[in-house]
Amino acid sequence: MVHGETGSEQTGGALFRFDPGWLYLVSGVLLVGATVLIPAIDDLTQARFGRDRARAVATYHTERLERYSGFIDALDRAEPALLLSLAQTQLNLAPAGKRPLIDISRAGQPSSASVFPALEPVYTPAREPERPRTLLQRSTTSDRPRLWLIALGMMLILIGVLPPTRASGEPAPA
């Protein structure tokens, strides 16, 4: 026992008292936070996928435009190699001393004389993000379980902020 300046007796005790309400408060805040943030992160992931898909399409169109512009510029400059190639493929004319190559990979089918397939760039689509399929993710993105999770989280927060109880023999704080 410790005697104070006034001469009254004080009982020694712990430096602090642990309140279990903090556990309810923290778990409620985490549950409500997860219920709000997981669908938002899911929407953000879908928006980023849409952005990446649009970026891939824009890159494809830009590269395609550059290739076609290069082809037209080569035609305007009258490059001999291009004119010779066009004469061979489009007009079936071969220069003297050269014979045309036959495409043996497609026997029985005539080869295409179009130059446009060679000008087309390769399209690489954006990769669709994989969503984690956990119980928490499914529960927070579905409408009905999400409402129950918010209600449960709010109830835990309410329990956590309630004042602590006293034992019946403890004196009331002054």
* 144-169 pLDDT per residue, tens: 999 999 999 999 999 999 987 766 66
First to last CA, the chain: 20
Residue 27 lies in a domain: yes
SS3 88: helix
The answer as to whether 71 is a domain residue is yes
Residue range 120-129, pLDDT digits in tens: 888 888 888 8
Domain that holds residue 96: 20-103+112-161
Instruction: Assess if residue 8 is contained within a domain.
Output: no
Which H/E stretch holds residue 10?
A: strand 9-10
SS3 41: helix
Whole-model pTM: value is 0.65
Is residue 10 domain-resident? no
Count structural domains, the chain.
Answer: 1
Q: Please report, for residues 40, 49, 82, 107, the alpha-carbon distance to residue 52 in angstroms, rounded to integers and kept in the order given.
A: 18, 5, 36, 41
Q: Is residue 9 part of a domain?
A: no
